[in-house]
Structure 1
Amino acid sequence: MPIVARTVGSKLVLGAHVSAAGGVHNAVTNSVHIGGNAFALFLKSQRKWANPPLIDDHCTSFISNCETHKYNAGQYVVPHGSYLVNLAHPDAERMKQAYDSFHDDLARCHKLGIKLYNFHPGNAAAAATRAEAIQHLAAQLDKAHADEATGAVVTLLETMATRGNTIGGTFEDIRDVISLVTKKDRVGVCLDTCHVFAAGYDIRTPVTLSSTLADFDSTVGLNYLRALHVNDSKAPLGSNRDLHANIGTGFLGLRAFHALVNEPKLWGLPMVLETPIDVKGEDGKVEQDKRIWATEIKLLESLVGMDPDSEKFQKLEVELAAKGKAERDRIDTQVKKKEEKKAKEKGKGGKKGRKKDDQSESEDLGSE
C-alpha cells in the first residue's frame, strides 16, 4: 500500500531512486509506494560486470505496471548507470568492458520503453591528457548511439562533485563532451544538486541559482538539461566531497530547495531523490525507511508557492537544519583540517630563504 498518495497536477515531477530487487517491474510499484511521479533504478547490479539478461516476463510487467500506474517511461524514468563504467579509459580491454556494459544498459532501456539514461562521465586519470579522455568518452557515445539496439535512448552526463581527474566536475567538461558527440539529440545532462554545490556552484538562493543556471545555459545550454538528482550536501560549497544529505539538513539548506522547486525552468523535468534512508533500529540493525522519501517528496511539493518568510517555512527550516547540525559540523571539521594541511604543505614547499640547515628539505618538498 502507498505510504502517501501521489500528487496529481503538481508543477514538479518528483520521485526517488527505488529498488528493482526481484525484477525491474518492482521498481514501478516501489515508486507508487512512496508517492513518486518519477523514479530511477538500476537495470542490473551496478557493482558487477557480468549480469543475466532481462527476463521477458519482467519486461512485460514493467511496461504493464507503467501503464497501470500512469508513468510515462519515456519521460520520467531515469535509470542510473553502473559505477564501474569508465568510457574515458584508453586501454582497449578496459574500454571494451566498459562499453559492453554501457551498451547493454541502453539496450535494456530501449526494450523497456525508457528514453533517458543517466551515467557518470568517467575518469581521465589513465589517459595521456584530459582532452584525450573526453575524446574517448565522446567516441564511445557515438558508437552506442549508432547501434540500432539502443533505439533513441538519450544518454545523460551526470554533473560530478569532484574535479581533478573526474570528468563532469565543471560545466566546461560537459560542454566539451557534447561538442564532440555527433547526434546531439542523443545526449543530455542530469544535474545533481549535491554534486554541483560540492564542485563550487552556489545554488542556495534564487539569485545564486539563477546565476548558476545562466552559467549552465551559456556554457552547455539549458536545452540539454533533462533530469535532476535532488540531494542536500553534508559538505560545504566547493569541498569536492560527494556526500548526500536529506533535504534541508545539509549545507544547501531548505532555502536552496525552495528556490529550486520555484524555478519555472525546472518544472516538468524528472527530479529524483538520492537522499539517505538508512535508519538504525533499537536492535542496532540498519534498515531502509522509505517513509523518509515519501516525506521529502511531499515537503518539496509543499514548497511550491510557499512564502520563505512565513512562520511555517522558517519553522521547517530551523527544524531540518537542527537535524543535520552534528553531521555538518563533523564533515566541516574534516574539510577544514584537510585544507589546513594542504596549505601548510604548500607553504613549506614554496618558502624560500629558510635556514641553511633545512634548505634541502624545503627543496625536496617543493619538487614533490
Structure 2
Amino acid sequence: MQEPRRSERLAGKAIKTDASPPKLARKRKSQQKIESKGKICSSSSSVLPLLLGAHVSIGGGLHNAVHNAIEIGATAFGLFLRSQRQWQSKPLADETVDAFTRACVQHGFEGGRAILPHGSYLLNLGSPDESTLAKSRDALVEEMTRCERLGIGLYNFHPGSTCGKISIDECIRRIAESLNLALSKTRRVVAVIENMSGQGHTIGGDFREIRRVIDLVQDKSRVGVCLDTCHAFAAGYDISCARGYDEMMDDFQKFIGFEYLRGVHLNDSKAGVGSHLDRHENIGRGKIGREGFRRIVNDVRLRGIPMILETPMTMDDEDEILLLRSLVEDQ
C-alpha cells in the first residue's frame, strides 16, 4: 500500500503557530497563476463545483491542514487525523477541535464534505489475526470519532486483506462486521471504502468485492466509496483511453452505483495497466497521461465530490492542481 508521501514530506514545512493563519510557506509561482485560480473558484456554472485538492500536512496542528490547502489553491483536501505509524495516539484536545473548526469556517470548509481524511495504513479490518483485527476496529472507531468531533463528514480507508490465511468471503464478512461496529458507535460520519489495485491479498481490486461489503453494512446511508485512479488502472481498467474509462465507470455503476461515490483519489500510475502494482505518479507523467485526467475532470458525475491528489513530491501540489484545472473545458 502506497502512502501519500506528500503528507510526510510537507510536515517539515508546516508553520507551528496558534490557530491564526500561518504565513505562506512559499510565494505564488506567478501573478498569472493567482488570477487563474480566482477565475476558476468564482465560476458561475450551474454544474456542481469541481473540488480539487491534495493530501496535506497536519504538522504544527490539525488546523494547519486547512491553511496548507488554501496555500495551494485547493477547494478540497485530504489529511491524516493523527500519526498513522502507531496504534495509540494522544486524545483529541478541545483546543485542537476549536482551532480546526474555526479554520474551516474561515476558509469555507465548514460542513466537512470537501474534506476526505485518510485512515491509518495499519488498519486491516478483515484481518485473520484476532489481535490485529481488534486493534484495527478500535482505531477505526477512534478515527471516526475524531471526524465526528471535527465536523468532518467522510472517512476514507483501505478495506483490508486476507493475508492469504482466510477466504475472501470471510475477509469481506469481517470488514462489514468492523464497519457495522464502528457505525453503531459513531454518528453522521460516512465510512468511505477505497478501491484497491489487486496487489497481494487485498480486498477491493474488484468492484464486486466492495459491493459485497456494502451489502452487509446495515446502515447504507453511512457507507460510500472512494475511486482511486491509479488503483483502478493497476486493477485492469485502461483509463488512459476513452473506451477504458467508460468501461470503468459503467462497471462502477453496474456493481456499486454512483449514489455511493463519495471521493476520488487522483493519481497517475508508474506501472502499466493490469499490473496490480500500487505505484503513484504525478499527473500526466505516468501511464494514464493527461488525456486520461482530462476525461476525469470533465466528467460532470464527479462534480461536487472531493478529488484528492496523492502524488509524489517531485511536482508541487499547486502546479498539479493548476494543471488539472487547465484541462477543464467548461470554464
**Fold shared by both chains (TM-score > 0.5):** yes
Corresponding position of 1:95: 133
Does 2:116 correspond to 1:61? no
Provide, for residues 184-237 of structure 1, a one-character-per-residue CA deviation record: whole Å limited to 9, x for no partner: 111110000011001101212333212210111001111111100001000110
* 2:209 maps to which of 154, 173, 176: 173
Amino acid at match of 2:300: P
> Any gaps of 5 or more consecutive residues in structure 1?
279-288, 308-368
Structure of higher RCO (CA pairs closer than 8 Å, 6+ residues apart): 2
- State the alpha-carbon separation in 2 of the partners of residues 112 and 230 from structure 1: 25
Does 2:52 correspond to 1:28? no
Aligned residue-pair number: 293
Corresponding position of 1:196: 232
* 2:75 maps to which of 25, 37, 43: 37
Offset, 1:73 = 4.1
Does 2:246 correspond to 1:210? yes
Is the contact between residue 163 and residue 170 of structure 1 (CA under 8 Å) also seen in structure 2?
Answer: no
Amino acid at match of 1:269: I
List aligned pairs for 1:292-307, cutoff 5 A: 292-305=316-329
Corresponding position of 1:131: 169
- Whose helix proportion is higher, 1 or 2? 1
CA-atom RMSD in angstroms: 1.7
SS of match in other structure, 1:228: strand
Corresponding position of 1:330: none
SS of match in other structure, 2:262: strand
- State the alpha-carbon separation in 1 of the partners of residues 245 and 57 from structure 2: 31
- State the alpha-carbon separation in 1 of the partners of residues 163 and 218 from structure 2: 25
Corresponding position of 1:329: none
* 1:253 maps to which of 269, 273, 289: 289
Provide, for residues 21-48 of structure 1, a one-character-per-residue CA deviation record: whole Å limited to 9, x for no partner: 1211110000011000000000001111
Offset, 1:169 = 0.8
Does 2:244 correspond to 1:244? no
Offset, 1:267 = 1.3
* 1:223 maps to which of 259, 275, 286: 259
Corresponding position of 2:143: 105
Offset, 1:164 = 4.7
- State the alpha-carbon separation in 2 of the partners of residues 131 and 267 from structure 1: 34
Does 2:56 correspond to 1:18? yes
SS of match in other structure, 2:112: helix
Amino acid at match of 1:15: G
Offset, 1:128 = 2.6
**Which structure is larger by alpha-carbon Rg, 1 or 2?**
1
Structure 1 residues 217 and 29: alpha-carbon distance in aligned structure 2, compared to 1, 3 A threshold: same
Offset, 1:163 = 4.4
- State the alpha-carbon separation in 2 of the partners of residues 306 and 201 from structure 1: 26
Offset, 1:127 = 4.6
- State the alpha-carbon separation in 2 of the partners of residues 138 and 176 from structure 1: 9
Provide, for residues 49-71 of structure 1, a one-character-per-residue CA deviation record: whole Å limited to 9, x for no partner: 11101122121011000111111
Offset, 1:72 = 3.6
Corresponding position of 1:266: 302
- State the alpha-carbon separation in 1 of the partners of residues 294 and 268 from structure 2: 12
Amino acid at match of 2:245: L
Between 1:131-140 and 1:162-171, the stretch displaced more is 162-171
**Structure 2 length normalisation: TM-score?**
0.85
Amino acid at match of 1:248: G
- State the alpha-carbon separation in 1 of the partners of residues 171 and 311 from structure 2: 30
- State the alpha-carbon separation in 2 of the partners of residues 125 and 172 from structure 1: 19
Corresponding position of 1:311: none
Between 1:9-18 and 1:170-179, the stretch displaced more is 9-18
- State the alpha-carbon separation in 1 of the partners of residues 42 and 116 from structure 2: 20
Amino acid at match of 1:77: I
* 1:151 maps to which of 157, 171, 187: 187
Corresponding position of 2:4: none
Between 1:268-277 and 1:118-127, the stretch displaced more is 118-127
> Any gaps of 5 or more consecutive residues in structure 2?
1-23, 29-33, 44-48
SS of match in other structure, 2:317: helix
